[in-house]
Amino acid sequence: MKEGDSKQGCLAVKPRNIGFEEATSAAYGGLLAFQYLEKGNITHGQNVLIYGASGTSGTIAIQYAKYLGATVTAVCGPSHIEFVTSLGADSILDYTKDESITYLEEYDLVIDTVGKRKTSELKKACAQALRGNGKYISIDDGALLLRSDRLNKITELVELGVIKPVNDRVYPFEQMIEAHRYVEMGHKTGNVAITVHKTT
């Protein structure tokens, strides 16, 4: 499968063990998380830092990086420390605490899932905290690739129970405005999905 797949969209069978709302989160967050981690070429025993670990792609990036055998440092706000720990992160840094900078190590891959709209001194320091061949990948660096091979891999890992997509809230289509308002508050836990019912 070539990366040019993006132009045609991508397709996979929905994981059998989750509903459509969770499958949407798995696909939306998962495609980006897999794109980051494959670009970083992560192998067993490497050190990965995920900045914005409690959002849509961050939650899946933690789980996939652990599956690949990485040691994962997750950066999030104070209300999500327990949550990202439950996803398997080995250590957590709180972006609201100045002293978090002093706990930085050297990483083979630093993923920034929030981009320049939410920057901080800690993020600048994370971007520098790389090992010799380490990489820094930001959501601002390029478009999402819609790849069916990655979507199929997501289905496989969800069915194996390796990856669990997390929906904070599910809104009916009629409450789209409320859903956007909630997301724009900037602190959802994982993803927010919208249900669209077929009318007969």
Ligand X SMILES: NC(=O)c1ccc[n+]([C@@H]2O[C@H](COP(=O)([O-])OP(=O)(O)OC[C@H]3O[C@@H](n4cnc5c(N)ncnc54)[C@H](OP(=O)(O)O)[C@@H]3O)[C@@H](O)[C@H]2O)c1
Binding site for ligand X (CB under 6 A): 28-29, 31-32, 52-58, 76-77, 79-80, 95, 113-114, 118, 120, 139, 144, 186-188
Give 44 or 185: the residue with its C-beta nearer to ligand X. Answer: 185
Distance of closest approach, residue 42 Cβ to ligand X, in angstroms: 19
If the CB atoms of residues 77 and 88 are measured against ligand X, the closer one turns out to be: 77
Residue 52: CB minimum distance to ligand X, A: 4
CB atoms within 10 A of CB 22: 21
Q: Are 169 and 188 in contact (CB under 8 A)?
A: yes
For the chain, first and last CA: distance in Å?
37
The residue (of 97 and 131) whose beta carbon lies closer to ligand X is 97
Q: Are 25 and 153 in contact (CB under 8 A)?
A: no
**81: how many CB neighbours lie within 10 A of its CB?**
16
> Which secondary-structure segment (H or E) carries 39?
helix 20-39
Amino acid of residue 162: V
Pairing state between β 107-112 and 130-138: parallel
Nearer to ligand X, 68 or 126 (CB): 126
Query: Which amino acid appears at position 60 of this protein?
Result: I
Please report how close the Cβ of residue 17 comes to ligand X at its closest, in angstroms.
22
To ligand X, the closest distance from the beta carbon of 126 in angstroms equals 11
Q: How far is the CB of 175 from ligand X (least distance, A)?
A: 18
Q: Which is nearer to ligand X, 97 or 187 (CB)?
A: 187
